[in-house]
Amino acid sequence: MLNIAITPHREFLPADSDEQKLFLMLKLRPTKQVANTRPPTNIAFVIDTSGSMYSVVAGEPQPTDQVVQMDGQQWRVATGGKTKIDIVIESLRSLLHSGKLDANDRISIIQFDDQATTLISATPATEVAAIDAAILRLKSFSGGTRMGLGLKQALHALDDHSMASRRALVFTDGQTVDEDLCDELAKQFSIANIPMIALGVGEFNEDLLNRLSDVTGGKPFHVVPGTATGTAVSILDFPNTIVSEIGLVQQEVITNLALTVKTVKGVALTRVLRAYPSQAEFSLDQDPHSIGNVLAHDETVFILEFTIASRTASRIRIAQLGLTYDVPGENRRGELDLQNVVVQFVAGQELAVQVDQEVMGYVQQCNIAQVITEATRIAEQDPHRAEELLESARRMTKRLGNTEMTDSLTSAQDELRKTRRISSATRKTIKMGSKSKTVKMGQDINDELSEAEIRQASGT
């Protein structure tokens, strides 16, 4: 049901090095039989309907004489332009009428401002009229921003114990006042294996959206008005983005991956990451570790990071890995028996310098997000150092073939050189883009990583 390959970044480790790193690549790909199945899906759209969602982002609005009262303020009505909420409504209706959903797909529509309402819950996508009416109601609300209330209702709407691929798609354009509640709910989404697709436009908190997508194994997007470059998404292309992401949910033929890791004394599991097709870092609090789902017709790649104490030169089993999972299209469960992770410890450094370039390519992609976060943090206090970090990340994305991320980093560097700072929009694009867009590695990398880069990543 599931083809699995386990590859360490080194087959030999120096025996006399303390606190060294071992990166283990876990590559999963469904068998052809399983890849051709179709999982049922359960999708909740959690939409910000606060007052700022009514700002015009497309077209040429023309003011009228009509004045309305909203959120305690007076606003002059304009015609001819499209607001954020208009485009979200168009996008959801476009998906509903696209023909890509069927009776196996269930839809929930939830709005939030300073309150939250479930407009329709877990309804088969074939009930087009009812879902359409719920989507149109999104324009009936306005207020502040309390995302946590919307997420709470989404968790209830997705409380489905049948085998299905589930997803919460969250769209927001502002700073929520209940960030702590969002973080707490994200843990519950993770336990239930409900990834979040977090889309932000405007002055939202990108760190929060990155955390929500990370903790749940989802994906973040920075949505921008007008033309988008690099890893950003244009709000005008939002309908295509929605259709594409929901299409991926329909391809999750393996779900509820639960990873068991048993280590020997002197070995600690320090990180569990998904490296491809998008990035996420999973919590180590759960046992077994919930690591999400696997797409049909492609590989899903995880990186396990171990910290290892020095030991005598010998061949040693340092860990055992086990895996359970669901196959919703066939309504059954699968299991991988415990697999031994064996490493040869050797005296000296000669054999230990040999590394697997495919594994290190994924490790470097995971490290890029950390480099970018640090660059944006120090940009205003130390622009020179921030520029060095961005250049390091840019060179790596170029070498690995991540064109979109390279373009985003090049733009950020140009802006930093000219203004000595990184704007809010650029910061969002590069921080979220480093998570949402990764590239597939292979054994045929043209430009191999330098020894210095390998040592920096592996801590040896």
- Give the pLDDT of residue 459: 44
Nearest in space to 143 (alpha carbons), one of 283, 13, 48, 254: 48
Q: In this structure, which amino acid lies at residue 436?
A: S
Residues 287 and 346 in one domain: yes
Cα separation, 274 vs 297, in Å, equals 17
Q: Specify whether the CB–CB gap between 89 and 139 falls below 8 A.
A: yes
The domain spanning residue 81 has which CATH number? 3.40.50.410
Counting the structural domains of the chain, the total is: 3
- In the chain, the percentage of residues whose pLDDT exceeds 70 is 90
Average pLDDT over residues 89-108: 95
Q: What is the CB neighbour count within 10 angstroms for residue 4?
A: 12
The residue range of the domain holding 232 is 41-249
34 domain residue, yes or no: no
pLDDT (tens digit, 9 = 90+) per residue, 12-65? 888 888 888 999 999 999 999 999 999 999 999 999 999 999 988 877 766 666
Instruction: Tell me the whole-structure pTM to 2 decimals.
Output: 0.88
Average pLDDT, the chain: 90
Average pLDDT over residues 335-358: 83
Residues 308 and 376 in one domain: no
Joined tokens for residue 428: 């969002």
Residues 326 and 345 in one domain: yes
178 domain residue, yes or no: yes
Cα separation, 377 vs 363, in Å, equals 22
**Which of 208, 228, 249 represents a domain boundary (last residue)?**
249
267 domain residue, yes or no: yes
Cα separation, 273 vs 33, in Å, equals 27
205 domain residue, yes or no: yes
Residues 145 and 187 in one domain: yes
Residues 110 and 216 in one domain: yes
**Which of 189, 220, 249 represents a domain boundary (last residue)?**
249
**Which of 210, 234, 249 represents a domain boundary (last residue)?**
249
Residues 52 and 200 in one domain: yes
33 domain residue, yes or no: no
Between strands 2-8 and 20-30, the pairing is antiparallel
Backbone phi, psi, residue 162, to 5° = -80, 165
Residues 340 and 437 in one domain: no
